[in-house]
Amino acid sequence: MPSLKEIRIRLQSVRSTRQITSAMKMVSAAKLRKAQDAIIQMRPYANKLHEILENLSSSLKSERDNVYGQDWETKRILLVVITSNRGLCGAFNSNVVKKAIQLVDEVYKKYQLSGDLEIIAIGKKGADLLKIKRLPACQTFNELFDDLSFENVSKLASRIMDDFAKTKYDKVELIYNQFRNAATQDLVHEQFLPIAREEKFEDRFETQVDYILEPSKEDIVKELIPKSLKIQFYKALLDSHASEHGARMTAMHKATDNATDLINELQLHYNKARQTAITKEILEIVSGAEVLRG
C-alpha cells in the first residue's frame, strides 16, 4: 500500500490537473460559442446559394462553359484533409486521418503508387499524423486557423480551383468534421470538384423556381459557381473549427470528471492509510505502556 506521502503528492498532482482541464473546458466553451455562431449564420446563406445555383445549372442547355463541372477521366487526385493545429480534443484529428488513410488504401491505392495522389493538410495535427503514417502532405496551410476569414480561405480555394481548371487535378475531395452540436461531430467525405451532378428536381418531387434573371442565366451562373465553391470551402473550415472546440470542450469535461473521480478514490485511500497509521501508533503506545507497567 502506498505511503501517506505518496498518496498526498498524487492528490496534489491530480488536483492541479483538474484545475487545468477545468480552465481549458471554460476557454473552449467561450470559443465554441463564437465558432458555433459563425457556422450557424453561414449555413443558410451557403445552402440557399447552392440551391439557386443548382436550380439555374439544371436548366442550362449546355455545361461546356462550366469548367468546374467537367467530369474528366480521373488521372490525378487531390485530398484536402482538414484538422486542427492543437490537440487535447479526443479523437477529433485521428478520425479524419484514419478516414484519409482508409480512402487511400481502399480506393486510391493505385494513384498513390503512381504518384498521382496529392494531399493538402489544413491543420498541424493532421499534417503530423499523416507524416507518422508515411502518407505525408505535399502542402500544409496551418496559418488559416490563426485568422479564419473568408478572404484568407478564398485564396486557397481559388488556387485549388485554378489547378483543377488547368487539369492539374481531375478530382478534389474534402475530409473534415461537420459540426452538429457540442458533443457530436460528423465525419464528412465529400467531393469538392468537379461539381457533383445533382438529381433533377422532378426526381426529388420539388418544383423549379422561375427566377427573373438579369443579365443572362449563363453569365449569372459563371459568377455564382466560383463564389459558391469558395463559400462551400469556407463552410467546411468553419464546420471543422466549431467541431474542434466542441470536441475539446467535451474531452476536457470528461477529463475533469475523471480527475474528480480519481481524487475521491485517492482521498479514500489516504483516509484508510491515515487511519491504519493512527491505529498502529496507538497499538505501539499501548504495548509500550504495558511493558513499562509489567
Residue 287 contacts by C-beta under 8 Å, 6 or more apart in sequence? none
> How do 184-193 and 117-122 pair as beta strands?
unpaired
The verdict on pTM exceeding 0.75 is yes
**Sign of the torsion angle spanned by Cα atoms 9, 14, 17, 18:** negative
Beta strands in the chain (DSSP E): 77-82, 117-122, 139-140, 171-181, 184-193
Residue 56 Cα to chain centre, angstroms: 32
Task: Report the distance separating Cα 66 and Cα 80, nearest Å.
Answer: 22
117 within 8 A of 104, measured Cβ to Cβ: yes
What pLDDT, on the 0 to 100 scale, is given for residue 201? Answer: 42
Residue 81: beta bridge partners?
121, 175
Task: Report the distance separating Cα 285 and Cα 278, nearest Å.
Answer: 11
Task: Report the distance separating Cα 281 and Cα 275, nearest Å.
Answer: 10
Q: In this predicted model, what pLDDT tens digit does every residue of 132-186 receive, in sequence order?
A: 999 999 999 999 998 899 999 999 999 999 999 998 999 999 999 999 998 899 9
122 within 8 A of 82, measured Cβ to Cβ: yes
What pLDDT, on the 0 to 100 scale, is given for residue 248? Answer: 96
From residue 162, alpha-carbon distances to 122, 130, 132, 137, 156 in Å are 18, 25, 30, 19, 10
Residue 101: beta bridge partners?
none
For residue 85, the 8-state DSSP code is: S
What pLDDT, on the 0 to 100 scale, is given for residue 61? Answer: 55
**Residue pointed to by grid coordinates 461537420:** 178
Q: In terms of residues, how long is the chain?
A: 294
Task: Report the distance separating Cα 184 and Cα 201, nearest Å.
Answer: 31
Going by C-alpha positions, the residue among 241, 223, 197 that lies closest to residue 49 is 223
Grid cell in block for residue 279: 491505529
* 115 SS3 class: coil
Is 138 annotated in the active site? no
Task: Report the distance separating Cα 52 and Cα 65, nearest Å.
Answer: 18
Q: Which CATH number fits domain 28-251: 3.10.20.30, 3.90.70.10, 3.40.1380.10, 1.10.10.60?
A: 3.40.1380.10
Grid cell in block for residue 57: 445549372
- Active-site residue (options: 35, 39, 56, 89): 89
Task: Report the distance separating Cα 166 and Cα 119, nearest Å.
Answer: 18
Sorted by where each begins, the domain ranges of the chain are 4-21+254-293, 28-251
Regions of the chain where pLDDT drops below 70 = 1, 54, 56-65, 197-211, 213, 294
Kindly report the number of other CB atoms within 10 A of residue 161's CB atom: 21
From residue 283, alpha-carbon distances to 99, 276, 280, 286, 293 in Å are 64, 11, 5, 5, 15
Residue 211 contacts by C-beta under 8 Å, 6 or more apart in sequence? 52, 55, 56
